[in-house]
Amino acid sequence: MLELYQLIQLTAIAECGTLSGAAEQLHLSQPALSRSMQKLEDTLQVTLFDRQKNKIHLNRAGELAVAQARRVIQQADDMVEQVRAFDRSQRTVSIGSCAPAPLWELMPLVSQLYPEMAISSELKEPEPLLSGLKTGAYQFIILPHALEDPDFFCFPFEKEQLYFSLPPSHPLSASKGLFFKDIDGESVLLLSQIGFWYRVCRQKMPLTRTLVQTNQEDFQELVQSSALPCFVSNLSMRWSGKPENRLVIPILDPEATAMYHFLCKAENKKKLSPLIQRVKTLSPQLSQL
């Protein structure tokens, strides 16, 4: 019976050129390898090596066998990897979101409902989110708008309203409301990992220089110590509190408001119904729309 370990040994010999070298690489004794290859030749009924008393090397049939063996081994490795990846995907909930705020509510909910599952989340633009939902890369996604499509189940569950966070010294800090264009041109502090908001910010404030901070603590530090404008929202303030020594001024553009929608494949609605029920309890009034 042909076995994989024989093929691995064969390819090792092809790489090392010598039995003893391959044996060492395989953590095996030379005699064991010698006998193993003799047995391989028996099962194939083909001589794979030119043997002289003192040296051995692959003949042409052996070279062919090595090439074929590599393919078989590669395929076996692929099998292991694919099965493991599939298994992992079965054990993890993958969430795609256009922005971080919805995840702050959703991830605790998911981990509570599926305590044995791992949770992975990604921030992407709506378009890659949708294609990921189609391919099954995500169990569900969060978009900043509704999507009417019979293939998907979609409902709104949370609203985010953006504000400028300004120091008292800022000339516009007394405003009741501001538009993006009012601040456009000033340098603005931003956190990375804010999803589609970064695109909104760049589009609405094309003249502004964005000082993007990767580290959350660095960002907080800069907000406190600088006079630069930054952004907060109703949701960020719910989770992190109102920034100290700052004035919070609503942004009046319609783009400063996002209505987050939960989307899953229609075929998965039933399986996800426990989660969907819990998500709807977060904001009963929105869900009734």
Nearest to 101 by CA among 256, 192, 234: 234
d(CA 151, CA 149): 5
d(CA 168, CA 174): 8
∠ Cα 196 199 202 (to 5°): 150
Select from 50-58, 84-92, 197-205, 247-255 the region that touches a second copy (CB under 8 A): 84-92
Q: Are 195 and 123 in contact (CB under 8 A)?
A: yes
| 36 makes contact with DNA (CB under 7 A) | yes
Question: Which does residue 226 bind out of a second copy, DNA, none, counting CB within 5 to 8 angstroms by kind?
Answer: none
- CA-CA-CA-CA dihedral for 74, 75, 76, 81, to nearest 10: 90
Q: Which of 15, 86, 118, 215 binds a second copy (CB under 8 A)?
A: 86
Q: Are 62 and 49 in contact (CB under 8 A)?
A: yes
Question: Which does residue 52 bind out of a second copy, DNA, none, counting CB within 5 to 8 angstroms by kind?
Answer: DNA
| 66 makes contact with DNA (CB under 7 A) | no
Q: Which of 30, 111, 120, 287 binds DNA (CB under 7 A)?
A: 30
Residues 5-34 that bind a second copy (CB under 8 A): 5
Question: Which does residue 87 bind out of a second copy, DNA, none, counting CB within 5 to 8 angstroms by kind?
Answer: a second copy
| 25 makes contact with DNA (CB under 7 A) | no
Positive/negative CA dihedral, 6, 12, 14, 18: negative
Question: Which does residue 29 bind out of DNA, a second copy, none, counting CB within 5 to 8 angstroms by kind?
Answer: DNA
d(CA 173, CA 166): 6
| 19 makes contact with DNA (CB under 7 A) | yes
Residue 230: count other Cβ atoms within 10 Å of its Cβ.
21
Q: Which of 21, 128, 132, 167 binds DNA (CB under 7 A)?
A: 21
Q: Are 69 and 11 in contact (CB under 8 A)?
A: yes
| 56 makes contact with DNA (CB under 7 A) | yes
| 28 makes contact with DNA (CB under 7 A) | yes
| 240 makes contact with a second copy (CB under 8 A) | no
| 75 makes contact with a second copy (CB under 8 A) | yes
Q: Are 48 and 41 in contact (CB under 8 A)?
A: yes
| 53 makes contact with DNA (CB under 7 A) | yes
Q: Which of 19, 22, 65, 201 binds a second copy (CB under 8 A)?
A: 65
Q: How far is CA 107 from CA 60, 97, 134, 193, 280, in A?
A: 59, 11, 21, 16, 15
| 283 makes contact with DNA (CB under 7 A) | no
Q: Which residues bind a second copy (CB under 8 A)?
A: 1-5, 44-48, 60-61, 64-65, 68-69, 71-72, 75-76, 78-80, 82-84, 86-87, 90
Q: Which residues bind DNA (CB under 7 A)?
A: 3, 5, 18-21, 27-39, 49, 51-56
